[in-house]
Chain A
Amino acid sequence: MSHKPVYDRTHHAKLATGIGDPQCFKGMAGKPKFKEGDRVRIKDLPDLFYTRTMTYTRGAVGTIVRLVYESPAAEDEAFGNEDHPEWFYSIVFTQKELWPEYSDSFSNDTVETEIPERYLEQA
């Protein structure tokens, strides 16, 4: 008799097979809090154990250019937790906003990256 913990290790495969990921989370995040064109500031949430929200974006203000998909945030997904998908937004920052020493000669330079909703607040 096995005394191993009962845990369905194929739960993600059951969800995503034949559909894809993040498509399998479509419609599960509810109403998005922000829309295209919104100016948002990135919250400096705890980064203990795991995050994929770049340190250099925290506290900076950017513009939402697209709602990209619904998915569990990396903080959950990295440990196999997929019960709370949220909206991911593609956000554009000027390089100058992220790097104070960035040359004024290239003030039009931007960087675009995807960040989950929990990190965003209206700027």
Chain B
Amino acid sequence: MSSSTREEVLRHLNTVGLLQPALHQQTHAPAPTEIDHTLYRAYTRTPHDVGGEPDVPIVYHEKEEEIWELNTFATCECLAWRGVWTAEERRRKQNVDVGQTVYLGMPYYGRWLMTAARILVDKQYVTLTELHNKIVELKERAKSGKGLGEYLPAKTK
């Protein structure tokens, strides 16, 4: 069997999956009386990493950590060592406060990094204006080709 046949067959199976009937139900702007206890509990459910919820199967990808990911982890640990947050505050911010869409859609260490910036603003270590100004400054420096500073390659594990 040729590989183009496999491609066609697999594409076909995938396409058929997309055509499966779905339950279409209006979910926007319900009247308060439409929210019974079951829906209330579902809406106030917090995203979490403790498991036990049904979902479709996803492909498991093995991925080597990148330098920015390791640096992000180290930054977050330093914030803990210096007492800026506990692991539980970090988890709450990076799992719950971001909302389900971001929780499932943003790369794992992307959420860590975003949350590190967020805790510094929330606890008034930096103002949002200072953070925004820094982002503008770094964007301009990157555009000018001067680089963003020393970037050390990861040491071998």
Interface pair A77/B86, CB less than 8 Å apart: yes
Are B83 and A77 interface neighbours, CB within 8 A?
Answer: no
The dominant DSSP class at the A interface is loop
B94 to chain A, nearest CB (A): 11
Segment at the interface with B among A31-39, A46-54, A62-70, A83-91: A46-54
Among B52, B81, B88, max chain A CB count under 10 A is at B88
Chain B residue nearest to A15 in the complex (CB) = B83
**What separation, in Å, do the CA atoms of A12 and B83 have in the docked complex?**
6
Tell me, rounded to whole Å, the shortest Cβ–Cβ distance linking B120 to chain A: 11
The residues in B between 30 and 83 inclusive whose CB is less than 8 angstroms from any CB of A are 41, 44-46, 48, 50-53, 81-83
Residues from chain B with a CB closer than 8 A to the CB of A106 are none
Is A54 in contact with B83, judged by CB distance below 8 angstroms? no
B83 and A50 form a contact (CB under 8 A): no
Give the shortest distance, in Å, between B147 (CB) and chain A (any CB): 33
Given contacts A47-B46, A52-B48, A54-B50, contact A77 B123 (CB under 8 A): no
Check: A74 CB closer than 8 A to any chain B CB.
yes
How many residues in A have their beta carbons less than 8 Å from beta carbons of B? 24
Q: How far is the CA of A50 from the CA of B46 in the complex (A)?
A: 7
Are B92 and A79 in contact (CB-based, < 8 A)? yes
Tell whether A14 is near chain B: CB-to-CB under 8 Å: yes
What interface size band does chain B fall in?
A: 20 to 34
Residue pair A21, B50 in contact (C-beta under 8 Å): no
Contacts of B48 in A (CB 8 A): 51-52
Cα of A63 to Cα of B124 in the assembled complex, Å: 44
Q: Is A110 an interface residue (CB 8 A)?
A: no
A56 within 8 A of B: yes
Q: At the interface, yes or no: B113 with Cβ under 8 Å from chain A?
A: no
- CB 8 Å contact bits of A7-19 with B (1 = contact, 0 = none): 0011111100100
Q: Are B86 and A80 touching (Cβ within 8 A)?
A: yes
Q: Using CB atoms and an 8 Å cutoff, list the residues of chain A in contact with chain B.
A: 4, 9-14, 17, 21, 47-52, 54-56, 74, 77-80, 98
21 A–B contacts from the bound complex (CB under 8 Å): A9-B123, A12-B86, A13-B81, A13-B82, A13-B83, A47-B46, A48-B44, A49-B46, A50-B46, A50-B92, A52-B50, A54-B51, A54-B52, A55-B52, A56-B52, A74-B88, A77-B88, A78-B91, A80-B85, A80-B89, A98-B52
